[in-house]
Structure 1
Amino acid sequence: MGKIIIKTPEQIEGIRQSARLAAKTLDFAEQFVKEGMTTELIDDKVEEFIRSHGAIPATKGYNGYPKSSCISPNNIICHGIPSKETILKPGDILNIDITTILNGYYGDTSRMFTVGEVSKEAEELIDTTWHCLDLGIEQVKPGNRFGNIGFVIQRYAKARGYSVVYEFCGHGVGIEFHEEPQVDHASRRNTGPEMKPGMIFTIEPMINQGKAKAVIDKNDGWTARTIDNKLSAQFEHTVLVTQTGCEVLTDIHNEYPVS
């Protein structure tokens, strides 16, 4: 494992501003999540919004990725490529994942959206995934081990009858798009590096209705679907380890008190 970057106060402020813009972009995108809209249209609006705020979308061109966001409906776990062929319909659930680069700093966040009335099963999956993120964030404090994030997420999801995707994980972020450490969402208790003030990383559990395994689309090399075509959900925040706890940098609705 490479070195985990401890951010300076100046870097933390820059990352905080980018993280807030990423979260504002999700709020902006919500108005376009409705029946009949294409995921490409949502992506176009997202790119316009990000650029109008003096930032650039981190995903566009990243390792050849063609779009400004990842939009992953229903059985797509992550890295869904927005397209004009994907038209939203009632009952759909979808994750929109935004990463911004503002003044050279990265902010990364995602959340679930629904189109019209969704099934009870879909609602329960989304609620469980949201709570998994909450549980992971509760573990963020100096001296704790990164493995405890995955331990509490996996324990809760499994108890609710779901599986945790293990092929994708959270990651350090801020100076680069993907930094150390790798933040697993299924791991053993008290394992992994120790959290220290100034570390910034994402927690982004992906929870499946069925089996945990992902299948990558052979045509585009990006889209990760559930192996059994069952639903998947994901939420993501960028978090900072403080001297006494944590700050959720992508929380613009004051859902998480700074500790």
Structure 2
Amino acid sequence: MFGSSLEIKTPEQILLMREAGLVVADALAAVRDAVRPGVTTGELDRVADDLIRSRGATPSFLGYGEPPFPATICASVNEAVVHGIPGSQVLAAGDVVSIDCGAIVEGWHGDAAITVAVGDVPDDVSELMRVTEESLWRGLAAARHGGRVGDISHAIEQFVHSQGDYGIVEDYTGHGIGTEMHLPPDVPNYGRPGRGPRLKHGLALAVEPMVTLGTKQTSVGDDDWTVVTRDGSLAAHFEHTFALTADGIWVLTAHDGGRADLERLGAPYGGPA
């Protein structure tokens, strides 16, 4: 343990998290391939659920929280930022859908999210998705042994603001992860560098910027789960789980461990060769 609250993993435990992370990566890839006009968010949920269970893993989200979340994925369409409940909603050309997915392998969690365009979308929406995903990688690349959580937060905020007038959602954050899906510390998507808990080998975090074309202000829908932008502007959400190893950053929910993007950004890759 680090301090009195942060869960530090052994290399063997990180390997189990990598197994969970690869299940999540494959589930998200399967859902991405299934996104098209006319498909329902409930059908996407079944794709992810089938994939996770076929691997002998357990969905992290199903039954989570209060009221219990009723599905395997979160499917958040257009102005929905996060925690959308999949069901009968039919996707149409021009929509964007954010898919958040978690899986458990032998008690260890993986958690990641992508935003997918349904057919062609306007240029500003494509750019929103690019900025949000790249801000995730800038945040991941800022993690260093001996650094602070705020270094990750600042890197995300700095990149987003350098790209245009976007809203960065502040009410929902990344988080520690391991034996539970949500552990300390919180990982905000804004903040000052050099602040917050210190980063240490064996710490695993889920980093997840949520960015909008308008306001950062959000509201929760009548279902007590779905978070939407107050001004109705479109949102994007990307997430990865990573562990800090003795060698650097290992993105447990990326098929290549994050190697290509980390090396592109000059950050140390911490996974297997």
**TM-score, shorter chain, exceeding 0.5:** yes
Q: What are the superposed Cα offsets for residues 98-141 of structure 1, whole Å, 9 maximum, x if unpaired?
A: 10011211010111111111110100100100110011011111
Deviation of residue 255 (structure 1)? 4.4
Contact 1:141–1:242 (8 Å) recurs in 2: no
Q: Which residue of 1 aligns with 2:28?
A: 26
Which amino acid is 1:88 matched to? L
Q: What are the superposed Cα offsets for residues 174-226 of structure 1, whole Å, 9 maximum, x if unpaired?
A: 21111111111111121001100000010100011111011101x21000000
Which amino acid is 1:200 matched to? A
Tell me which of 74, 77, 87 is aligned to 2:78: 74
Cα 1:143–1:158 change in 2 (3 A) is same
Residue 179 of structure 1 pairs with residue 183 of structure 2: yes
Deviation of residue 2 (structure 1)? 5.7
1:35-114 → structure 2 map (5 Å cutoff): 35-63=37-65, 64-84=68-88, 86-114=89-117
Structure 2 length-normalised TM: 0.91
Contact 2:143–2:151 (8 Å) recurs in 1: no
1:88-237 → structure 2 map (5 Å cutoff): 88-159=91-162, 160-217=164-221, 219-237=222-240
Residue 247 of structure 1 pairs with residue 245 of structure 2: no
Which amino acid is 1:177 matched to? M
Query: Matched residue of 1:62: which SS?
Result: coil
Cα 1:162–1:118 change in 2 (3 A) is same
Query: Matched residue of 2:205: which SS?
Result: strand
Contact 1:111–1:234 (8 Å) recurs in 2: yes
Contact 2:74–2:85 (8 Å) recurs in 1: yes
Structure 2 Cα separation of the partners of residues 232 and 239 of structure 1: 23
Which amino acid is 2:80 matched to? I
5+ unaligned residues in a row in structure 1: which ranges? none
Which amino acid is 2:179 matched to? I
Query: Matched residue of 1:150: which SS?
Result: helix
RMSD: 1.3
Which amino acid is 2:130 matched to? D
5+ unaligned residues in a row in structure 2: which ranges? 261-268
Query: Matched residue of 1:100: which SS?
Result: strand
Which amino acid is 1:68 matched to? T
Q: What are the superposed Cα offsets for residues 70-124 of structure 1, whole Å, 9 maximum, x if unpaired?
A: 011111110000011x101001111111100112110101111111111101001
Between the two proteins, the alignment pairs up a number of residues equal to: 257
Structure 1 Cα separation of the partners of residues 133 and 211 of structure 2: 10
Which amino acid is 1:29 matched to? V
Query: Matched residue of 1:17: which SS?
Result: helix
Deviation of residue 10 (structure 1)? 1.8
Which amino acid is 1:234 matched to? H
Contact 1:169–1:184 (8 Å) recurs in 2: yes
Contact 2:27–2:47 (8 Å) recurs in 1: no
Contact 1:142–1:244 (8 Å) recurs in 2: no
Structure 2 Cα separation of the partners of residues 65 and 29 of structure 1: 19
Contact 2:202–2:243 (8 Å) recurs in 1: yes
Query: Matched residue of 1:180: which SS?
Result: strand
Structure 1 length-normalised TM: 0.96
Structure 2 Cα separation of the partners of residues 143 and 187 of structure 1: 18
Which amino acid is 2:240 matched to? H
